């Protein structure tokens, strides 16, 4: 799936959340995600290489964890992110497949996350990354084949600016 993604570091989480609540938009309850990121052996940042992610997600302590295999690829010259996610049952077997394909572990990122759906195909995430100061917000919007990537990214940035945020972050969480 093609996505436009814009991320920013928040000046003040409470103010950001209040501005959304003032227009009747509320975040979900907090849940936990842990990503193990794998990259090709010849990986170079900002060179259109794919990343493979093994995600563990816990939405409630009394429910089983959800395990996902995610392929992410950011196409630098177009600004598009290609994201494919598959729920898996056998975490260890999938990690072995990733390693046998020649990918290597690059990083691990744990976060407390909340999400807010803003219509069809657009989600705002509010993230607290472990061992990183402050909070981050990220808007992901699905793109149809005819959508202009530049216009979509500009619209997402305008959304943040309307909410008083403009400290945009181009790096992935594992690159921070």
The per-residue pLDDT for range 4-25, each reduced to its tens digit, is 999 999 999 999 999 999 999 9
- Among residues 130, 121, 103, which one has the least CA distance to residue 33? 130
Which neighbouring-strand residues pair with 86?
A: 69
> What CATH number does the domain containing 138 carry?
2.40.320.10
Which neighbouring-strand residues pair with 140?
A: 5, 123
The per-residue pLDDT for range 66-83, each reduced to its tens digit, is 999 999 998 877 778 899
The whole-model pTM stands at: 0.89
Residue 92 predicted with pLDDT over 90 = yes
Amino acid 103: pLDDT: 96
Residue 36 predicted with pLDDT over 90 = yes
- Tokens found for residue 129: 């990354």
User: How many percent of the chain have pLDDT more than 90?
Assistant: 78
Report in angstroms the alpha-carbon separations of 19 from 6, 28, 101, 174.
Answer: 18, 15, 45, 28
Q: How many domains does the chain have?
A: 1
Query: Distance of alpha carbon 176 from its chain centroid, rounded?
Result: 13
Residue 87 sits in which domain range? 2-175
């Amino acid at each position: 799936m093609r996505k436009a993604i814009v991320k920013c570091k928040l000046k003040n989480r409470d103010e950001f959340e209040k501005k959304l609540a003032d227009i009747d938009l509320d975040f979900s309850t907090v849940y936990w995600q842990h990503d193990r990121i794998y990259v090709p052996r010849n990986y170079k940042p900002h060179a259109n290489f794919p990343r493979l992610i093994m995600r563990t997600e816990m939405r409630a302590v009394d429910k089983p964890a959800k395990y996902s295999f995610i392929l992410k690829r950011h196409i630098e010259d177009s600004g598009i992110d290609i994201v494919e996610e598959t729920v898996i049952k056998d975490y260890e077997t999938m990690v072995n497949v990733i390693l046998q394909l020649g990918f290597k572990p690059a990083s691990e990122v744990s976060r407390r996350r909340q999400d807010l759906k803003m219509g069809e195909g657009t989600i705002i995430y509010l993230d607290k990354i472990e061992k990183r100061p402050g909070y981050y917000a990220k808007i992901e919007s699905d793109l149809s084949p005819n959508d202009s990537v530049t216009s979509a990214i500009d619209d997402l940035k305008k959304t943040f600016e309307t909410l008083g945020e403009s400290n945009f972050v181009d790096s992935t969480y594992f690159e921070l």
